[in-house]
A and B are shown apart, each in its own frame.
Chain A
Amino acid sequence: MAFNAAKMVDAMTRSQVEVPSGVGSGVMLDVFQGFVHELRAAGLPVSMTENLDAMRAVELVPLTDRDSLREVLAATLVKHFRHRAAFDTAFDVYFALYSGGVSPESDGEEGELGEGEEAGGVPGQQGSGGSGEGMGNEELAEMLLSALMNMDREQMRQLAAMAVSRFAGMEPGRPVGGTYYLYRTLRQLDYDALAGRMAQRAAEQAGDEGEPEDPLGSRFQREEFEARLREFRDLVEAEIRRRLVADRGVGAMARTLRKPLPEDVDFMHASREEMAQLQNAIEPLTRALAARLAQRRRRRNRGHLDFRATVRHSLSYGGVPAEPKFKHPRPSKPDIMVVADISGSVASFARFTLQFVYAMAGQFSKVRSWVFIDGIDEVTRHFSESDEITEAIHRVNTEADVVWVDGHSDYGHAFDVFHDRHLHEITSKTSIILLGDARNNYHASQAWVLKELRQKARRLFWLNPEPRGYWDTGDSIVSDYGIHCDGVYECRNLRQLERFVAAVVEA
């Protein structure tokens, strides 16, 4: 079915794009359509209209101008900044071979490429016979260092190619992603120590005249070096990718590199890097939540009749108060309580949870938060006193008193204590958000607490990081609690979290 649909789109595209130059004809159109299909396979919502726009757009730029081509395709096909990384990956794979410059034929043989490029490109190096081959590893490292120091992009590109030839040890047909080769190459180049060596070199060059102790200057220098090293790393990665594509073909490569979009990354299994990206994504989300709650509040109840303004306005209708005017009510601040499980079974989710709470606390002044395992402790001040999320999380993990007996989740006891201590603080303006998997280790559920909380609070929500299929299996008693909540939401990725935010605002 999907296959047929794809075919049809293809046919439609062909008939609708007038094909004047070489662009739309045969081969290139196939490449572009393959590219669009790949984007869809990676999860980007590319519509028919956008596809057509893209095909019209590529005719407006020369195909040899790779940067423009990339931007033009991105402008028409990618409508969310979070999707840009996926787009770039696919673009690099699909258009690696059209990047001009080096032809991919010689790729199978290790070393050949580096040699060919090096002979033509790197000026002033001892031009002895086999150039690339004849050079020792130290010389290569030395050249790299000087290229980095002088920010010679062309030479960096060539050195990246040489390094890949020499160190990556790429084997044709081996079904691994580029990361393995990347780390191999970088390790051989002693990448982690390069920044230090650059700083050392810079100090030597500054030599006599150099101002010895200038912390600010050295900070800038360090940042500059880091930026250059990142650039070099990208070059190496691009080179590896290019060779892999030549070896294994575009389609296979694209499939290997395909990653879930940021909004589909599972909180429970997110890598460190993905977690950092998530953190960036959460911030705007809480801002959205704040903005929309404020909007909703203002629109929902308009204030009392503003008599003065009404009379004043009636003058323009000849004294008839045709248009009553109202006062704008001052929006009340939302009052939010977040109660989160931070036990081992939801540890990575808890990290995300705390990030979310931290971001919320930045938006709303009246956010209070608690964490629990089998004991419960308020952590509001940990968040408000910490400047940084990592510091806040560290403080929560070390200072919060959350273990009561054995450090295994006991929702019942935690809720019970919460009820005793804080019930009187809950008002009809309070929204309560509970986070956890409701795996209670067969303790008493004490679900009546939630019933009472809900009666007093404005709204009570439960976010569960487990897939819905696992709910109520084993010691999970999410339904026992769920019947007392205004909503129980599966919340494993950003997409679901966004859905929750939208639902809260609608409710």
Chain B
Amino acid sequence: MAERFATVNEVVDRLREVDYLADTGIAGVVYLADRLEKPVLVEGPAGVGKTELAKAIAATTGSRLIRLQCYEGLDESKALYEWNYKKQLLRIQADREHETDWATVESDIFSESFLLTRPLLEAIRAQESVVLLIDEVDRVEIETEALLLEVLSDFQVSIPELGTIVGQQRPIVLLTSNNTRELSEALKRRCLYLHVDYPDLEREKDIVRVRVPEIDEALAEQVAQVVRSIRALDVKKAPSISETIDWARTLMYLGHSSVDPEVIRDTLHVLLKYQADIAKAKKELVSQANGGLVKSERARQ
């Protein structure tokens, strides 16, 4: 089938067109996923753009995004397909007067129109190009993981009443995980692996400028600096990229053209969501912004 991307650099460029700034790591893996036709397991802290990546790929390749949100207790009938019992029952009841024979009824109620397709089957049956996003895969039980494995390795599904349905095309498949549990070795083996971390200063600044176009460069730089400072602190929940963007927007709406301790104090709650974190950041950034360079440098070594 036609490849979606010609080179790694093309991945970077085309993701940039849809406002997603990828580094070499991200772009390299997306490129591989396309060429090797393998699913990608994306891990990383919450809010670094794992889900966003799937959306961006879908947007830039003109594919449909099919999303399977995982949760504890997700099973075949919610992930793959289910027969529409209610409709089938109605059908049987409606048929009662006509006294049709069982074989007809059976072939009738187990046909396509009584099938409820769920995201996985939807992705397999799709005619057009598709990006399949399996979100937070670490939430499902081991047994469901096995089901995913089976589907992902062959990209086909056997429905006893209908026969085997084989995928028309190989979608790009992304699985995201927040690492609440170790995924099975088998799943990891079949996937490419991408660990996304918080971006460095430059990239974060660029991201802010792309997502909040009306911001000027100096402010974007300051925003990125503050966020880097906060992430270096030992906080419960470090600010995510989306929170950085929200904060930049907030500053724009409030009409601030530069960041000073006062502004930080008043808007910190956009970046941090725990009271303890906010208190700590205030203490560090607002009241005593100086001192401790040599100390922290030593500690690191």
Whether A and B are associated in the same complex: the answer reads yes
Residues of A within 8 A of B (CB): 45, 47, 49-50, 53, 56-57, 60-61, 65, 67-68, 71-72, 74-76, 78-81, 84, 192, 195-196, 199, 215-216, 218-220, 222-224, 226-227, 229, 273, 284, 287-288, 291-292, 295, 298-299, 316-318, 362, 387-389, 498
Cα distance A65–B31 when bound, in Å?
14
Kindly provide the distance from the CB of B10 to the nearest chain A CB, expressed in whole angstroms: 12
Which 8 residue pairs of A and B lie closest in terms of their CB atoms, listed nearest first?
Answer: A215-B289, A71-B28, A79-B188, A81-B195, A220-B225, A291-B180, A219-B289, A75-B192
Cβ contact within 8 Å between B225 and A61 = no
Contact partner of B189 (CB less than 8 A), chosen from A47, A72, A298, is A47
Contact partner of A219 (CB less than 8 A), chosen from B89, B229, B260, is B229
Cα distance A46–B98 when bound, in Å?
63
Contact partner of A79 (CB less than 8 A), chosen from B31, B189, B297, is B189
Cα distance A170–B297 when bound, in Å?
26
7 further interface pairs, Cβ-Cβ under 8 Å (given A53-B38, A196-B294, A298-B72): A60-B31, A71-B29, A72-B28, A80-B188, A195-B297, A220-B222, A224-B201
Cα distance A387–B235 when bound, in Å?
9
Encode B21-42 as 1/0 by CB contact (under 8 A) with A: 0001100110110011010110
Say whether, besides A61-B28, A71-B28, A78 and B290 are in contact (CB < 8 Å): no
Kindly provide the distance from the CB of B33 to the nearest chain A CB, expressed in whole angstroms: 9
Cβ contact within 8 Å between A316 and B32 = no
Minimal Cβ-Cβ distance residue in B for A217: B289
Cβ contact within 8 Å between A192 and B290 = no
Say whether, besides A223-B232, A387-B276, A216 and B259 are in contact (CB < 8 Å): yes
Contact partner of A71 (CB less than 8 A), chosen from B24, B86, B200, is B24
Q: A residues within 8 A CB of B85?
A: 316-317
In this assembly, does B288 line the interface, its C-beta being within 8 Å of a C-beta of chain A? yes
Cβ contact within 8 Å between A195 and B43 = no
Cα distance A394–B78 when bound, in Å?
51
In this assembly, does B210 line the interface, its C-beta being within 8 Å of a C-beta of chain A? no
Cα distance A292–B72 when bound, in Å?
10
Q: A residues within 8 A CB of B179?
A: 284, 288
Minimal Cβ-Cβ distance residue in B for A318: B89
Cα distance A84–B194 when bound, in Å?
11
Say whether, besides A195-B294, A292-B181, A215 and B288 are in contact (CB < 8 Å): yes
Kindly provide the distance from the CB of B170 to the nearest chain A CB, expressed in whole angstroms: 15
Can you name 29 A-B residue pairings with CB atoms under 8 Å? A47-B189, A49-B189, A56-B36, A57-B32, A61-B8, A68-B8, A68-B24, A71-B25, A71-B29, A72-B32, A75-B28, A75-B29, A76-B193, A81-B43, A215-B261, A216-B285, A219-B285, A219-B290, A220-B229, A223-B228, A224-B201, A226-B297, A227-B201, A288-B179, A288-B182, A291-B180, A298-B72, A317-B85, A362-B236
Q: A residues within 8 A CB of B29?
A: 71-72, 75
Minimal Cβ-Cβ distance residue in A for B191: A79
Cβ contact within 8 Å between B28 and A223 = no
Say whether, besides A216-B260, A220-B225, A57 and B182 are in contact (CB < 8 Å): no
Within 8 A of A (CB), among B46-69: none
Cα distance A131–B188 when bound, in Å?
53
In this assembly, does B296 line the interface, its C-beta being within 8 Å of a C-beta of chain A? yes
Say whether, besides A68-B24, A222-B293, A318 and B195 are in contact (CB < 8 Å): no
Minimal Cβ-Cβ distance residue in B for A219: B289
Cα distance A224–B201 when bound, in Å?
9
Encode B1-27 as 1/0 by CB contact (under 8 A) with A: 000000010000000000000001100
Q: B residues within 8 A CB of A60?
A: 31-32, 35-36
In this assembly, does B99 line the interface, its C-beta being within 8 Å of a C-beta of chain A? no
Q: B residues within 8 A CB of A47?
A: 189
Cβ contact within 8 Å between A287 and B180 = yes
Cα distance A88–B23 when bound, in Å?
17
Q: B residues within 8 A CB of A49?
A: 189-190
Kindly provide the distance from the CB of A156 to the nearest chain B CB, expressed in whole angstroms: 16
In this assembly, does B266 line the interface, its C-beta being within 8 Å of a C-beta of chain A? no
Encode B269-301 as 1/0 by CB contact (under 8 A) with A: 000000010011000010011100110111001
Cβ contact within 8 Å between B225 and A316 = no
Kindly provide the distance from the CB of B183 to the nearest chain A CB, expressed in whole angstroms: 9
Kindly provide the distance from the CB of A68 to the nearest chain B CB, expressed in whole angstroms: 5
Within 8 A of A (CB), among B228-253: 228-229, 232, 234, 236
Cβ contact within 8 Å between B195 and A84 = yes
Q: B residues within 8 A CB of A56?
A: 36
Kindly provide the distance from the CB of B208 to the nearest chain A CB, expressed in whole angstroms: 15
Say whether, besides A192-B297, A195-B297, A220-B225, A68 and B180 are in contact (CB < 8 Å): no
Cα distance A291–B179 when bound, in Å?
10
Interface-central residue, B44, B86, B181, B290, by most chain A CB under 10 Å: B181
Cα distance A192–B300 when bound, in Å?
12
Cβ contact within 8 Å between B193 and A75 = yes
Cβ contact within 8 Å between A388 and B234 = yes
In this assembly, does B93 line the interface, its C-beta being within 8 Å of a C-beta of chain A? yes
In this assembly, does B185 line the interface, its C-beta being within 8 Å of a C-beta of chain A? yes
Cα distance A357–B260 when bound, in Å?
37
Say whether, besides A220-B229, A226-B296, A318 and B290 are in contact (CB < 8 Å): no
Cα distance A81–B179 when bound, in Å?
10
Cα distance A79–B73 when bound, in Å?
26
Cα distance A81–B194 when bound, in Å?
9
Encode B190-233 as 1/0 by CB contact (under 8 A) with A: 11111100001100000000000000000000100110110010
Cβ contact within 8 Å between B35 and A317 = no
Q: A residues within 8 A CB of B35?
A: 57, 60
Q: A residues within 8 A CB of B285?
A: 216, 219
Cβ contact within 8 Å between A57 and B193 = no
